[in-house]
Amino acid sequence: MTLQKKQWFAIYVRSRAEKKVGESLNEIGIENYVPLKQEWRQWSDRKKLVELPVISGYVFVKIAINERLTVLNCPNVLQFVRYLGEDAVIRDIEIDNLKLFLNQADVNVEMVSGRIKLGSQVEVVEGPFVGFEGEMVQHNGKEKVVVRLDALQSNFLVKIESSKLTVKEVC
C-alpha cells in the first residue's frame, strides 16, 4: 500500500458555516484550517469580541486525494475550489504565510518613506512579517504592501515601514 502525499486544498462552504465545517472536519480526523480574525461587534445592549472568517466561504483542508469524497460529504461543504479545471492545490508555504500573517495582524506599522516605487516587488526583511513577499501598492492614499495567496486569487494589504523591505524587482 502506497501512502499518498497530503496537500492543502481550498473548499467552498455555505455562507457563515466556516467554523461549523472546521469542527465537523476535526471530528472525522481531517486536518483543516479556518482563518479567523477577532473583531469587536456592537449590539444595542452590549459590545462583544467575536471571531469572524478572514476569507468568507472558504476552509482549507490538508488531505490525500482519496479523502476528497469524505470532505465533500461533510455537512455544509459545497465543492472544491478549482483552478484550470482541477482542484486548486495550495502550497504549504502559502498556508504557513497566511497563518503567520494572521497571527501578526495586530501589529500596525506605518510606511514612513516613499523610497520604493509603486508596483515594485518587495520582500519583508525585518519585523514580524519577515519572509513575506508582495507588491507595493497604493490604497486609500497610503502606500502598502499587498501579500497575495495565488491559488485563491486573494490579496491582503499590510502597512510596513519601507526600511523593513527590500526591492526584489523594479517595474
Grid cell listed for 59: 476552509
Mean pLDDT of 151-170: 67
Task: Please check whether residue 129 is in contact with residue 160, taking contact to mean a CB–CB distance below 8 angstroms.
Answer: yes
C-alpha–C-alpha distance, residues 82 and 70, integer Å: 17
Query: Where is 71: in which H helix or E strand?
Result: helix 68-72
Cα–Cα dist 130/127, whole Å: 6
Instruction: Tell me the CA distances in angstroms from 78 to 13, 44, 111, 164, 167, one per residue in order.
Output: 5, 34, 40, 41, 40
Predicted local confidence at residue 120, as pLDDT = 77
- For 41-52, write each residue's pLDDT tens digit: 888 899 998 888
| Banded pLDDT at 108 (limits 50, 70, 90) | very low
Q: At 93, is the secondary structure helix, strand, or coil?
A: helix
Angstrom distance (rounded) from CA 127 to CA 94: 19
Q: What is the dihedral of CA 25, 29, 34, 39, to 10 degrees?
A: 90
Query: What does the pLDDT read at residue 107?
Result: 44
How far, in Å, CA of 96 to CA of 148, rounded? Answer: 13
Specify the pLDDT at position 153: 61
Give the domains, in start order, of the chain with CATH numbers.
7-90 (3.30.70.940), 93-171 (2.30.30.30)
